[in-house]
Chain A
C-alpha cells in the first residue's frame, strides 16, 4: 500500500527519502552514536558546515535549473541575486542604525525574517524589471547581459553601492556581526539547529520547483526550450513565462543569500563575483541542468570535490599548490562533462535503470536517457 503510493508519487517519495536521509545524517553528526563521526572517517570532508553550505547553494541551484535547464535561458549573473539577498539581510540587520531603524525593531526576533522577505521582494522585483528586455536576447547575448548584471552588482557590493565611504557594504571587508536567526526566544543556532533550518527551506524550495515543473507553467517553459515558434503557436506567451522563471530563480537565490549571511554571520563581496556566478553554472551542469533533483547533487559534488583537492592533493602530489588544484579541478570537470553530459544524476539513474533492467522509481523527467 505504502509502496504503491510511493511509486505513484515519485517526487513525494524522493522528497521524503531525502528528508529522512538528511535527518539521519544530521542526527549522526550531532549525537555521534558510539563515537561514530562522519567528519572523522571522511577526513573532515562531510561536516555539518559542508552540509549547510550544500543546502544553501541547493536553493540557488533549484532556481537556476528552472531558468537554465527548463526554460533554456542562460544566466551568468545569478550570484547578483544571491548577493542581493545576502547584503539585504546583512545591511538591514547589522547596519540598521544607518537606515534610522530603531534598535527595538532591529533587535526583535522577527526583523531578520522581514529583511529576508525584503531581499526576496527586491531581487524578484529587479528580475521582473530587467526580465523583458534581457530575456528578449538570445544565446550569447543573453549570456553577456547576465554577465554584465553580475559584474555590476559585484562592483556595487565592493564599492559601497556607489556611495562615498564604506559604511554601507564595508567594501572589501564586508559586513560583520550579522545576527543569527531566531523564532521568538528560540535561537536557530548552533549549527546543529541551523542545519535543519537550511535543509527544511531547501526541501520546501525543491518541492515548489518540482510542482512548477509538473504544471502548465513548467510545460510552457519546456516547450519554449524545445521550440519557441511552436510554443507561440500553441498560445504560450513566451516573454511572460521567461520572466516568471527569472523572477522565481532570483527570489530563490536571494533567499539563499540571506540564509548564507546569517550562517556566516558576515558577508563580503568575494562569493558574489563572476567566479561565483560561473561556479553556480558549473554546479548546475554537473548535477544536471534539466532536473530539479540535480541541484543538491551538483552542489555536493563540486563542494566536496574542491575540498578533496584542497586537502588530498598535497598528500598525493608533494608541493602541490592552489594552481595545481585548479588544474585538477578543471580536468575533472571536463571528464564529468564528457562522460555525463546530462549531469551526474541523470547519468547515475540511467546506469541504475540499466542495472535493474526495469524502470527505476525516479522523478519524472529523469528517465531521459541521452
Chain B
C-alpha cells in the first residue's frame, strides 16, 4: 500500500479503504473480493443493478453484517467486526433504503437522537436533572434545531415523525445522520420514491453536505441524480467491481457498455438486467 502514501501527499488521502471485502449468505457471494477507496471530501456513487450487492456493502461498512473476508479501514482504523454503534462513534453515519425514522418521536427529537454521540449525560444525571445535564440538554436542543433547519423542517419541529410526508421523512433521516457530524456519510437510495421537486432539494442538500467537508458514499438508481452529484462512480455487478472512475469515464467504459447490452448509459438501461427494478422515481 506504499503507493497510497505518495498519493496522500499529493492529493487527498483515502478516508475509506475497502480491501478484498467478501460476504457470502449461504452459498451466495453477495460481495466478492471487493476493493475500492473513497477519498476525503468526495461524493462517490455506488451503482449497479438490483442484487449487485450495493446495500450489502453499506451494511458491511456500517457493521450490520460481519464480513466473511477482507477488511474495511476508516482513516486507518479497521472496522470489520465492530458493532454498528461503535462504527457510528468512529464517524460513519448512514440512512436506510427502507426509511428508518423514529415514528414515535417528534422531528426535533429524531435529530436530538442524532446528537447522541455528541452528548454524554448518563442515567443518574438525567434522573436527578443535574445542572450539567440541563445545560447539555439545552445545547443538544439548539444544535438539533440547526440541523432541522437544514432539513427545511423548522416549522414541523414538534410534529411526530410518522406524520411527515415521505420526502420530509427522507430529509429528516439524512439530517439526523448529519447531526452525528460524521466523517463518512452513507446514503442508501435517498432519492427513492421522491418527486422531481423533492429530488432537486435532495441534490442541493447533498451538495451542501459535501461543501461542509463530509465524504459521501451514495447508492442511487436515478442516474441523472447520481451523475450530476458525484465525483466518482463505482459500478458493481454480482458483488464485484465492474468499473470505477469519473462519471464520464465510467459511461465510456467498455465493460459497462457491454454489461448494459451495448446501449447508451441512461436511466432506462441502468436497471435493465433485472426486470423487476426497485423503487425508482422520475
**Which A residues have a C-beta under 8 Å from some C-beta of B?**
208-209, 211-212, 215-220, 222-223, 225-227, 229-238, 244, 248, 290, 368
Known: A216-B116, A223-B105, A227-B102. 7 other contacts (CB 8 A): A215-B125, A216-B112, A223-B113, A230-B101, A230-B173, A233-B88, A290-B104
| Across-interface contacts of B123 in A (CB, < 8 A) | 212, 217, 244, 248
Q: What's the Cα separation between A212 and B136 when bound, in Å?
A: 14
| Across-interface contacts of B88 in A (CB, < 8 A) | 232-235
B85-A220 in contact (CB<8A)? no
Q: What's the Cα separation between A25 and B64 when bound, in Å?
A: 54
| Across-interface contacts of B126 in A (CB, < 8 A) | 211-212, 215-218
Q: In the complex, how many residues of chain B place their beta carbon closer than 8 angstroms to a beta carbon of chain A?
A: 43
A230-B100 in contact (CB<8A)? yes
- Nearest 3 A/B pairs, CB to CB: A215-B126, A226-B102, A230-B100
| Across-interface contacts of B85 in A (CB, < 8 A) | 232, 235-238
Question: Does B66 sit at the interface, judged by CB under 8 A?
Answer: no
Residue on A with the closest CB to B95? A233
A226-B105 in contact (CB<8A)? yes
Q: What's the Cα separation between A290 and B64 when bound, in Å?
A: 28
Summarize A's interface: helix, strand, loop or mixed: helix
| Across-interface contacts of B176 in A (CB, < 8 A) | 230, 234
10 contacts between A and B (CB under 8 A): A212-B123, A216-B120, A216-B126, A226-B102, A234-B113, A234-B180, A235-B85, A235-B116, A235-B117, A236-B113
Q: Chain B 68-98, CB within 8 Å of chain A: the 1/0 string?
A: 0000000000000001110011000111100
Return the contact of A219 from the options B94, B96, B109 (Cβ within 8 A): B109
Q: State how many angstroms separate the Cβ of B143 from the closest Cβ of chain A.
A: 12
B105-A234 in contact (CB<8A)? no
Question: Does B140 sit at the interface, judged by CB under 8 A?
Answer: yes
Q: Chain B 10-44, CB within 8 Å of chain A: the 1/0 string?
A: 00000000000000000000000000000000000
| Across-interface contacts of B133 in A (CB, < 8 A) | 215
Q: Chain B 131-153, CB within 8 Å of chain A: the 1/0 string?
A: 00100110010000000000000
Given contacts A233-B177, A235-B180, are A220 and B113 in contact (CB under 8 A)? yes
